[in-house]
Amino acid sequence: MTPFWNVVVITLIVANIAGCLWLLIWTARPTPGEVTEGAETGHVWDDDLREYNNPLPRWWRNLFVITIVFAAVYLALYPGLGNQPGRLGWTSAGEHDQRAAVTLAQRHALYQAFDGRDIAELRADPKAVALGGKLFQTNCAGCHGVDARGAKGFPNLGDRDWLYGGSAEQVYASITQGRGGQMPSFFGTIDEPTLQSLVAYVRDLHQGQHEAMEYAAGAKKFSGTCAACHGAEGHGNTMLGAPNLSDDTWLHGGSAATIRETILYGRKSQMPSFGAVLGETERRLLSSYVLSLSEPQP
C-alpha cells in the first residue's frame, strides 16, 4: 500500500470510530427544547401506537461502548490501520505459511514410508494403492470420474485401452508431463461422398468390414491421410496418442454422427502435468493406483 492510501485508510478508520463515539455522546445529552424524558413526542401510528421520549437502555448503550473499545484494542494488536503491523506482529500471510509448513510436514511423514520404491513394488502393496486412490480422488476424479470410468472426451482408466501406453513408465510419464492430443480438422478438404464412406469405414473398422463398395473411397482416404497417425490397420500410435480405431472403444463416441463431427472439425484434448503439483513418491503412488484399475492384483 502506498503512503497516500495508507494515510487515507487510517484517516477513514479513525474518523469512523471517533464518529461513532461522538454520536453516542451527542444522543445521550439533552438538548434545549427537547421533550421531557418519558413524555410523548406527539407521534402516533395506527391510532394507538405512541412514541415516547425514552433513552436507550443502559445495556444497549454499554454495548456500543464495548464495541468501540474492542475496535481500538483490536487495531492496536492486529494489522488494520493501513500499513501498521500491530503489536502482536500477526499477518495472514504468516499464518498461511505456518499452516502450510505443518501440512507439508504431515504429507512428508505420510509418504516417507513409500520413498524410493518403484511402481511395481507399490502396485503389490495394498496400502500404497489405497493411498494412490486418495490422490486420484483429489487430483483426477474431476475429469475421469470418481470410478475412473471417464466420460466423453476423458479416457476410461478401467479398461486396457491406452492412448499413450499402459506400462508403468508410460503411465508415470503421462502423470508427470501431461499429454496434449490433437486431431486435425478436415473441413473443406473432403467431399461429401468420400466423407460418408470414410465415416462408415472408421465406424465399422473393428468389425473387419473393408471390402464392400461402401467402404472403398473411405478406405482409400484413410490409407492416404489417416494412416499416418492411426496406422495402416488403424491400430493407433502410442507415441502420438492416436487412438486405436480397430477396437470398439471410443473417446468421443462411436456413432456415425460423432465420427463425422470428429473428422470435419477435429478434436483437441489436454491432460495437465502434475510434475510441479505432486512429488515423485506421490506420482508413483498415483501410477500404482491407475494401473490397479485395469490390471489384476499381482
Residue range 138-180, pLDDT digits in tens: 999 999 999 999 999 999 999 989 999 999 999 999 999 999 9
Assigned domain for 189 exists: yes
Same domain, 206 and 275: yes
d(CA 167, CA 182): 22
Which residue has better confidence, 51 or 32?
51
For residue 56, what pLDDT is reported? 77
Same domain, 61 and 116: no
Residue range 73-90, pLDDT digits in tens: 999 999 988 888 889 999
Same domain, 117 and 69: no
Is the overall model pTM greater than 0.75, yes or no? no
What is the mean predicted confidence (pLDDT) over 28-52? 74
Q: Which of 27, 57, 77 is the last residue of a domain?
A: 77
d(CA 186, CA 29): 85
> Given pLDDT bands bounded at 50, 70 and 90, which one contains residue 271?
very high
The residues, any chain, with a CB within 8 Å of residue 88's CB and separated by 6 or more, are 77, 78
> Given pLDDT bands bounded at 50, 70 and 90, which one contains residue 298?
low
For residue 1, what pLDDT is reported? 79
Domain limits for position 67: 3-77
For residue 69, what pLDDT is reported? 94
Assigned domain for 15 exists: yes
- Nearest alpha-carbon partner for 9 in 84, 65, 109: 84
Same domain, 52 and 184: no
For residue 238, what pLDDT is reported? 93
Assigned domain for 106 exists: no
Around 2, how many Cα atoms within 13 Å sit in the side-chain half-sphere?
A: 2
Same domain, 71 and 186: no
Assigned domain for 98 exists: no
Same domain, 71 and 123: no
For residue 135, what pLDDT is reported? 96
Is the pLDDT at 39 greater than 70? The verdict is: yes
Is the pLDDT at 209 greater than 90? The verdict is: no
> Given pLDDT bands bounded at 50, 70 and 90, which one contains residue 52?
confident
Assigned domain for 104 exists: no
The residues, any chain, with a CB within 8 Å of residue 166's CB and separated by 6 or more, are 160, 291, 294
Around 136, how many Cα atoms within 13 Å sit in the side-chain half-sphere?
A: 24
Q: Which of 77, 101, 131 is the last residue of a domain?
A: 77
Same domain, 68 and 200: no
Same domain, 50 and 129: no
What is the mean predicted confidence (pLDDT) over 38-47? 78
Is the pLDDT at 58 greater than 80? The verdict is: yes
Assigned domain for 91 exists: no
Q: Which residue has the cell 473398422?
A: 205
- Nearest alpha-carbon partner for 286 in 77, 297, 275: 275
Residue range 213-264, pLDDT digits in tens: 889 999 999 999 999 999 999 999 999 999 999 999 999 999 999 999 999 9
> For the chain, what is the domain count?
2
Same domain, 169 and 287: yes
Assigned domain for 143 exists: yes
The CATH number given to whatever domain includes residue 194 is: 1.10.760.10
Assigned domain for 271 exists: yes
Same domain, 116 and 50: no
Same domain, 272 and 152: yes
For residue 51, what pLDDT is reported? 83
Same domain, 270 and 176: yes
> Given pLDDT bands bounded at 50, 70 and 90, which one contains residue 297?
low
Q: Which of 77, 103, 129 is the last residue of a domain?
A: 77
